Chains A and B, each alone.
Chain A
Amino acid sequence: MALIKTTSPLSPAPPPARDRLLDELRAVDAATRGCAAAALGSRGDAHAELLDAWDTEPDATVRLRLLTALATHPDEQVTQRLAQALRGADTVRRTELVDVLRELPGNAPAVVVLLDDPDPDLRIYALNALRMVPTPQALARVAQLLWDDPHVNVCGVAIEWLAEVGTPTQLPALHAVRARFPGVEFIGFAVDLAVARIGGHD
C-alpha cells in the first residue's frame, strides 16, 4: 500500500442525449436529478423544463442545481419567471431565488416591478435581489421608496443598500425618509451612516 497513480485515465462518459437528461430530471435519486440539471444547464436548450422542475422539486440541493443551470444561459423569460416566482414562494425558496437573481445580469427590470407589490416582505426580497446590480434604474426606484414606501423595514433595507452603493443624487431621499419616521431611532442612525459614507466623511 502506498501512493499510487491512477492506472486507467479518467475519461468523460459521452454526454447523454437531451431526452435522457430530461428523464433523469425526474429520477428518484436526488444526485441523478442534480447532475441532469447541470448538464441541461450547460446545453442551454431546456429552460422551460428546468423551470417546471424547480417548481415541484422537493430537494433543496437539487433546486440549487436547477437555479444554477437556469442562470448559465439566462434569457429575459427565465429572469421574468424567476422574479415572478418570488411572489408565491415560501421563505426558503425566496432566499434561493434571491441568490440566483443577484447573479443574473440585467435582472433589474424584472425585479424592480416587485418593489410595487403590497407585500413588504416581497419588497425586501426584491431589494436584496437588486443589491448586486445597482443600475441607475434600480438606484432611482430605491430612492423613490424612501419618499413613499409606508413600511419602515423596507425603508431600512433601502437605506442600508444606498449606504453601500448610493451617490449624492440620493441624499435628498435619505433626508426625506428620516423626516417620515422621526421617532424611529434605527432609521436615523442608518441615514446618518449612509449620508456620511456617500459624502466620504469620517
Chain B
Amino acid sequence: MTEPVASREPEISHADFERFSDFFYRKTGIVFDQGKRYFVDRRLQRRMSETGHAEFDAYFGALLAGCDRPGGEMQQLINAMTINETYFYREEYQFRCLVESLLPDLLSRRGPDETLRIWSIPAASGEEPYSLAIYLLEHWPLLAERNVELLASDIDTEMLDLARAGLYPARALHQLPQPLRDRYFMREAGGHRIDAMLRDAIAFSAVNVCDVESMRAWRDVDVVFCRNLLIYFDDLSRRQAAEALYDALRPGGYICLGHAESMSRISSLFTVRKFPDAIVYQKPIESRPR
C-alpha cells in the first residue's frame, strides 16, 4: 500500500481530466466540462490523497479495478462529486414546471373530484415537500378546487423526525422571499418553525426505494420528485429504483430528477418531456410493444 500523500497536491493533466470526465460520464451520466475543472480537480485530488495515491494513473487504475464493487472507491468518488445541501425552493424551476405544465396535463386526464398525489422522495429533513406545499399554495389557484395529497418519504427515520418537527436554520430559508418566511414560519429558539397547518398536511413515511416488496404499497402517484437520490446508487440499484418508481406512477405520471441526473441513462421505461421550465420524465400512457 502506498504511503498517504500530504506534502503536495497530486497533479491532474488536461489528458487526465478528459479521460476521467469521459469515464465518469459513462458511469453516471454527469457531464463535467472544462468549466468544472477546478471543482473536479479539487475533489479528485482529495480522493487521491485520502486513498494514498500520488499519481493520477495509479488512482484511476485502482478506481477502474474496483468500479463494480458496491461501496468501493467509485461510490466514494460519486459522493464527493455530488455533495449538495438541501434548502427551501431549491431548483425552483421544477416547481414552476409542476404548476405551469405538469398539473394542467394531468388534470386534462382526470375527473374533477379525483385527488392528485405528489410524492417527494427522498424528503430528507422536509425542505422539498414543504417547498412543494408552499409553492402550490402560492402559485396554483386551482388548489381551491382540487385535492392534493403530498407524500414525503425517506429511508432515514431520524431525518423524517426532523422533517415532522419542521424547525430550520436561517440558511435553509435563504432562497425564500421574505413574505413567504413571514407567512409560513415562526421564529423561535433554534431556528424557524414551519406552520403547523403545513406540518399536518404532509404524510411522512419511511421507505426504501430499492425494496421491491415495500414499494408495492406505493401506487397511483401522479408526480414523483426524486431529486439527487439515484445519483448515489450503483447502476443496478438505480435501475431497480427507477422501475419501482415507474410502478408507483399512474400511466402518464411524471418524475422529476435533480439537474445533474438523467433518466435516459438509467432506464428507457420513461419518455423524456421537454417543458419550458424543465426536462422531466413521463410514464407512457400506453404500453409500448416493439
Contacts and interface: CB of A to CB of B under 8 A. Distances in A.
Interface stretch (A28-36, A114-122, A177-185): A28-36
Contact of A60 (B19, B23, B27, B289): B289
A165 interface: yes
A171 interface: no
A1 B247 contact: no
Contact of A102 (B13, B149, B235, B289): B235
Interface string B73-88: 0000000000000000
A10 B205 contact: yes
A15 B133 CA distance: 33
B165 interface: no
Given A34-B247, A64-B269, A92 B290 contact: yes
Given A15-B213, A15-B216, A72-B236, A59 B151 contact: no
B136 interface: yes
B22 interface: yes
Given A103-B236, A132-B235, A31 B287 contact: yes
Q: Which of B146, B150, B236, B268 has the most CB atoms of chain A within a 10 A radius of its CB?
A: B236
Interface string A130-159: 011110000000000000000000000000
A131 B26 contact: yes
Interface residues of B, number: 60
B144 interface: yes
A6 B203 contact: yes
A58 B290 contact: yes
A132 B269 CA distance: 22
Nearest to A33: B287
Interface stretch (B1-9, B56-64, B166-174): B56-64
Interface string A1-39: 111111001111101000000000000001100110011
A100 B61 CA distance: 24
Contact of B212 (A39, A134, A202): A39
A110 to B, nearest CB: 14
A129 to B, nearest CB: 13
Given A72-B240, A102-B235, A132-B68, A3 B201 contact: yes
Interface stretch (A47-55, A76-84, A192-200): A192-200
Nearest to B204: A5
B68 A133 contact: yes
A61 B288 contact: yes
B26 A164 contact: yes
* Most chain A beta-carbon contacts within 10 A, residue among B19, B137, B148: B19
A38 B247 contact: yes
Contact of B19 (A9, A31, A41, A197): A197
B217 A11 contact: yes
Nearest to A90: B290
Given A39-B212, A131-B26, A132-B68, A61 B15 contact: no
A65 interface: yes
B115 interface: yes
Interface string B204-233: 010000001111111000000000000000
Closest 8 CB pairs of A and B: A12-B217, A42-B212, A30-B287, A3-B201, A202-B14, A60-B290, A6-B203, A105-B68
Given A1-B144, A103-B235, 8 more contacts: A2-B144, A2-B147, A3-B133, A3-B148, A59-B290, A103-B239, A133-B68, A197-B15
